[in-house]
Amino acid sequence: MPARSRTRTIGITSGGGTWFGSPFSYSYPTVREQTDDVTGNFGGNNPFELVRRKYSGSICSNATGNLQLQNCPSFMYGTYPGKPTQVPALSSYLNRMLAMTGPLTPRVNLPLFMFELKDIPRMLRHAGDLLHKIRRPSGLDPAKEAAAATLAYQFGWAPLIGDLGKLLDFSKAVEKTQRTIKGAHSSRGIRRRIQLGTESYATSGSSTVWSIYGLFLTPQFESELGCKTWGVVHWKVRDPNQVGKIPTWNSALQSALGFNLGQIPITVWKAIPWTWLIDWFADISNILQANYNMIYYRPSRACIMRTSWNIRRYKAVPTGPGATDVCTQGTIDSIFKERLPVNSPSTSFNLKLPFMDNFKLSILGSLTILRLSGGR
């Protein structure tokens, strides 16, 4: 599989000027693309990376001095905004993908759901207290109330509402599980696709976009960064004698609602207090679920894909004495597409510092506020 790299440009932005009376001209592609892939393995599980940048604006002009610019583009001297860095590595999603796509992964873990019903009276009481405090201010610390409400929603109401929605139409969940298991028992196996999340954040700063002929243009910029990640994996039953087997509705029901015996250790682990926090560092829940799936089914040809973006917007700046040197507003719109192939996927146990996305930061912030406030 020879590696291949290709580039192409679309459109031209041009301009120029004079330097001590000598004319010069510049042109720059409006769109520049670079693709890195492989050849000779059509239909295979291949790596892929594409970088696409679209440039607009940041046109420079002036009227005094030895350098005279007439609508001259500046981006050829600018920096090239890179991929978002405040996002998890693609490889960190593998355990989660194997856990969530496996044929035996429950649509809703009913035993765990029933165990957590004991928290409903306390949840209702907290909700009532919160509504009461909104109508009649109680004088309690509002930061503590907001933190408690955040935790109550993220770990109480949101999972409860989601599980109830699935249970209202559990027959559809059973049918989906039955189709998944049937596909995994076919001669070709089944291809599962899953969304792995979307991240976004913003940054700001300054960057030099022109730095020759004695003129330095360093406008302020604001950037929008983010990514969308998803994955694909094939599953097939390990035992050749099981190929062609059609699962019964009862067996699909057990798998869909988490009643299989193999789910007991996973359910017990999730029911232990604070294991959700341990999972941020060790990913034990996903490892247990993925390994249970892989006892009976073999994953193969896994791919984790991501589309990232970095949209950098430069502000217009007058730079010279008397504002005679001018650079207009400009934008570099960068798109990055990448594919990480994993031909023989397996779980991995690694103690690590978790990536702190907005969700984790909000939870840790709420816990810190309650701790500092003496909450329990």
For 25-38, what is each residue's pLDDT tens digit?
888 889 999 999 99
Mean pLDDT of the chain: 80
Reported as a pLDDT band with limits 50, 70 and 90, residue 264 is confident
Q: What is the mean pLDDT of residues 115-143?
A: 50
pLDDT beyond 70 at 94:
yes
Which of residues 282 and 292 earns the better pLDDT score? 292
Report the side by side order of strands in the sheet with 59-61: 72-73, 59-61, 326-327, 317-318
Q: What is the mean pLDDT of residues 300-328?
A: 85
pLDDT of residue 229: 96
Q: What is the 3-state secondary structure (H, E, C) of 141-184?
A: CHHHHHHHHHHHHHHHHHHHHHHHHHHHCHHHHHHHHHHHHHHH
> By mean pLDDT, which of 104-113, 157-166, 274-283 is the weakest?
157-166
pLDDT beyond 80 at 336:
yes
Q: Which residue has the tokens 């299989």?
A: 260
Burial zone of 341 (CB within 10 Å; 0-12 exposed, 13-18 middle, 19+ buried): middle
pLDDT beyond 90 at 148:
no
